[in-house]
Each structure stands twice: as C-alpha cells, then as structure tokens.
Structure 1
Amino acid sequence: MFIIPYIYFEFGEDVAEGIGITLSEVVSLVIIVAIFGEALRLKFGFTVFGQREYEAKQVSALAWGGFAVGMVLLLAPVKEYAYPLILSLAFGDPFMGELRRKGLQTKEVIIFSTIFLVSLWLTCWYLFATPWWLAVIFAPLCVFSEMPRLRYIDDNATMLLIPLAGILILEPFIGLL
C-alpha cells in the first residue's frame, strides 16, 4: 500500500491524460471497480490470498483499506497529507500488530506506535513539506484510530478515515488544498 501515493503523484496525471479523464475520475473509477469486485467476492463467498476465513462473509480489510486510500486521494490529494496518512496505515498498522503479537501491553503499544508514527510524520515534513506540528496531532490520532474493534468496519478504514476527517476539519486553517 505504501507505493500507492508514489504511483498517484508520479504517474497519475499521465495515466489520466492518456485515457482522457481527470485524475479524480481515475481514483473514483478504481474505487467503483473495487466496490463491485468486493461485492462479487462476497456474493460468491470466497477469500483471496492473505484474507482471513471470516472475510468470506464480510467486507475485507483489503477492500476497506483500498476504499479509505481512495478517499484520501479524492479528498486530500496533496503530498503533504496523502503521504503521511497512507504511510501511517501501511507501516503503522503492521507495526502495532507486531507489538501486540510480541505480547506488549496496550499502553506500551500506544507509546511505541505513537513514537514510530511521529517519526514517520516528521519524515514526511522533511520529504513532502507536511506541516511538522501535524505529527503531534495525527500520529496519536492514527494510533487511537486503529484501536476500536468494530464488527464490520476494519481498522484499515478507521486508521485513515478518522485522521482524514481531522485533516479536513483543520484544512481551513492550514490551507494546503
């Protein structure tokens, strides 16, 4: 998933121009195709490589993550936002999972994951001019957005959609869009 913003920002306009539509339309089409593909997968009740057995009967983590990434690219299509948000999911979610797998307590997972994501957001400040102070707000928000255990909405969605909502709320004060 970490490669998606690179492809979007480096090749997206050329792809869109090549097929005669806007980049936003390309993203929307990809989301629509993914939704229909997921609906077909659910109708036939099968899983694909890497999916858990229970995902045969509910929307998969992959579909939720793809939808959320698409929403980031539609609603906050600038490097300063898209890179740190998507990379927080791509690297933060597995990082937290590994910490839990190693038996760390929830408090330790929160602390180490927040430190990890602050460093990721600060890297985006250096590489993409993401306002540095967003790291202080959005690293912990990304961590806490992964925590809810919802029955039908995967944390791949919450980990992007909740911080995206925060970005959109703060955007009038930041002015990057």
Structure 2
Amino acid sequence: MRLSNKRKAPLYNFINTALIMFLVMGILAFFAEEMRFQLLGMEAYLFIAVPAMMIIIFYLNGRQIFEYDSDGEALHFRNRNIVPFMSTPLSDEFPKYKFVKFETFTFLFFKRLYITINSKSGNTILKYEISYLSGKELNDLKFSLNKVIKNNKEKVNNE
C-alpha cells in the first residue's frame, strides 16, 4: 500500500507564505502604531505576537509531507518539510520481517508515529511526524502496519 500527502504540498506552501505575510504586516502595523498613532498601548504587541505564535505552532507540528510504501518486501517511510532548510528529511527503508511494532502518540494537535524494528544491536525506534495526515490517511496507515505485523507473526508461527 502506498500513502502520501505530497499532493497537499501546495496548500502547505500557501499557508506558510500567508503566515509569513501575516507576520510582516503585523510588524508593519506595530511600527505604524508605535511611531504614528499611539492608540493601543501594550496591545500593539499583539500585532507581532499572534502571527509569531501561529508560525511557531505551524513549524512545531513537524514535517508536513509523509510518504509510506509497503509494496514489495520492504517498508519505506519518508518524512520531509516543505521548507528545505528547516529540518533534514527522514528516509528509512527496511525489510518487512524486521518490523516489530508501531505506536501512535497524539497530544492536542501533535501526532507522532513510533516504529520499532529489530536490528543487530537490538530494537531500534524510528520517529515520524504525522500531524498533517488526515483521519482517513492515519487509519489506512494503521491498517497497513497491522497487516504487516499480522503477516510477520504468521510467518514466525509457520516456521
């Protein structure tokens, strides 16, 4: 099964650009208020604080683009940001038989996927940011990963 939210990249680019423009307009409004009008007082800082908080939340949500491919004998996970210099992209590929378990963690609007794989040095945990997946995409991902775990258990029982 293949899963990707890459087609939403233009939307995320638009949101990113709009937030940056909102911040620039807030800074200009702040300086206009402080230098010229002087009507708001301390509330003028909200012109900068609100857009800055929105940008921080947007970036703290994690990498926007998530791709998953379980076709063939390997699992392939890719996680990248729409802004190339913000964080390094993650790309992991490993055989299906090394896949042990997965866990999703949700807190407010942050979602993380923790994958446990069997390696020579013990179990390794891989972390992916899946905050930008829709509910259907997340359910499809969980279904596919559960299917891989089930197939792995059947192969172990047959041997």
| Greater helix fraction, Structure 1 or Structure 2 | 1
| Greater strand fraction, Structure 1 or Structure 2 | 2
| Higher Rg of the two aligned structures | 2
Q: Same fold (TM over 0.5)?
A: no
Structure showing greater relative contact order (alpha-carbon pairs closer than 8 Å, 6 or more residues apart): 1
TM-score, normalisation: structure 1 = 0.28
